[in-house]
Structure 1
Amino acid sequence: MVIFFNMIVKRFIKSIVVLLIYFSLYLLIVPTVNAASPTLSFYPSSGIIKDPEEGFAVDILIDSGGQELSKVTAAFNFDPQQLQIVEANKNNSLFEQWPEDESSLDNQNGVVMLTGFTQSGSGELYQTVGDPDVFARVEFEVIEDNLDDEIVLSWDFGESDPLFKTALIVDGSPPQNVLETASLGSRPQDAVFRLGELTQTAIDSRSIPFILGGFLILIAGVIISSKPEATRKKFGTVVVYDE
């Protein structure tokens, strides 16, 4: 009957609302949990290169996630047909040593590798205080002229060469590279850029879960407020007689 049908629909709507709320909370909580682990990131991680002739710069940010790091290697690749390294500046205040034999700026093969190191017991190990620190800044010249192509800076985790890999070494006995046991979702994420005019506000991909979560919570609130009887009405047996 009609009343039974309405009750079923209301229960279904209530179930959907609850699922939306749980899903929204999941989207909000997961990035926070991942952020508690040591990580590296590009800043910016996406966007439009508005004036290719001037090139662009990318910061490599480091966050120790509350742990002490004795060694950090930031290794990533780029397409040398699109970009050329102009300059790379390291933040010498973060680590005591920057070994030359563990660093590389290779415009021919499209390779960047920078390593900072502090010997345990001989100096203060790196630990982030507050916001992430700038580990290094790399400036690029743009030689790509195809507006349809993406320009990607991709982290290397030793897939092609075990000596060339991004690493975050936590002090201990023995020291441990936390990225070797990290899930794919918690590893540093690649940066993706395009050439052309900026036609709309760019949104950092890391902000999407928060925006989507807030949007879903807003929708759930509207549904609940517009159908109060679906969440507050007591359900009982309803008998309808046809006359």
Structure 2
Amino acid sequence: MKIAIVTGASSGIGQSAAVQLARRGTGVILTFRGNEAGALDTAAMIDKEGGTAVALPLDVGDTTAFPAFRESVAAALRDTWQRDTFDFLVNNAGLGQMAMFEDTTEDMFDTLMRVLLKGPYFLTQTLLPLLADGGAIVNTTSNAALRSGLEPGYSAYGTMKGGLVVLTRYLAKELSPRGIRVNSVSPGSTRTRIAGDAFERYPEVIPGIAAKTALGRLGEPDDIGMVIATLLGEEGRWITAQDIDVSGGYNL
């Protein structure tokens, strides 16, 4: 059995990725920060369908906690799957904040950098000794880092996600001697809990987004989760160093 770690899997894209991977026969270690109930719901969904999941707490914005998290991962691998390695890493956990460039504070910039770029960088580094040769990594980026997704108010957020796209290519290059593939997915606007359930609080913005999307609707978590699972599976075995725009043709 293959084993995946999916960060930020208590809801949204991470939850979908965890469930989609489990449906393909993959065991899942999923992480949460504040939403433990959501993480347990994800694990329960996987268990109900005959899969195996372990939920572990993790704050991707706190690098000092990463060594202890690695020990928790090692224990889960040993106790649940009798393994000392895992096969797939999905760097998905994040947060969303927006502000016009002139209103972006240094504190906001640092928070986004810590969670969206520094966190995935050093979490991957910390977990690398446990990642099996021939494994794969998928980073969740954003079309805010692409020309097609440029919208006012996301200069800091898009900058961090753009950095993650570049990191994806470097990891693909440096980890290729071990047969490890590294790709990223760049979702467009997707119905998740990001930015405090923004789409639940401001449903009036959805028609405008749908009108700018070639396929005519807002993205759903499974639209992204299925792509992540595919990139990690045998279907993606000859794909590496790529960023996939998964936005339904936003601004096409």
TM-score norm. by structure 1 comes to 0.28
More relative contact order, 1 or 2 (CA 8 Å, 6+ apart): 1
- Relative to its length, the structure with more helix (as a share) is 2
TM-score normalised to structure 2 length: 0.28
The structure with more radius of gyration: 1
Structure 1 or 2: larger strand share?
1
